Amino acid sequence: MLLDPAGSVLLLQASDPADHHKPPWWEIPGGGMDRGESSAAAALRELREETGVRDGVRIGPCVWVQHAEFDFGGYHFDQQEFIHVAWCDPNAAGRPAAWRPEALEPLEAVAFQGMRWWALDELLPSQEPVVPARLREFLPALVAGNVPDEPIDIAADAAGDQHPRL
């Protein structure tokens, strides 16, 4: 989850190419870990692959975890997610303005439609679906600089959806 110096978060817009009845949603960049890869290294690699962001980023600790089970693109996913916070370097050229993915997988290439920086005052009242589903609940603390000592389990409770992709 990439934050800029002003506290805006970078989200990718996506839709399910196999189910056009699902509404589009906004999600944090991310993906699978390669064999032997740490979650921090995977977060940095996925950020580069899905957004083109290479320089001026500092990967922080894993701040959230969740178990997610959902159907997307005709496939069933059952995964444990490790969500790291990352910050744009305020001394670098600034936050990336253009979406230039470097290595999208075929399913991602048809699912992703672009990126947007969301300020908290835009994201919190928005009705747009987001992934993780509890992003609006936990993001303000991170933007305020409150990084948890241990990752917080942000999985939706039994009454709520984990992903709009379900």
CATH number of the domain at 80, please.
Answer: 3.90.79.10
Asked if residue 10 lies in contact with residue 108, where contact means CB atoms within 8 angstroms, the answer is no
Q: Is 158 a member of any domain?
A: no
pLDDT reported for residue 163: 47
pLDDT of the residue at 91: 66
Low-confidence ranges of the chain (pLDDT < 70): 90-95, 157-166
154 in a domain, yes or no?
no
- Taking residue 58's Cβ as centre, other Cβ atoms within 10 Å add up to 12
Domain around 137: 2-148
Quick one: pLDDT at residue 158?
43
Total number of domains constituting the chain: 1
Note the pLDDT of residue 100: 84
pLDDT score, position 157: 59
pTM above 0.95, yes or no: no
pLDDT of residue 162: 47
**Residue 146 near residue 56 (C-beta atoms within 8 A):** no
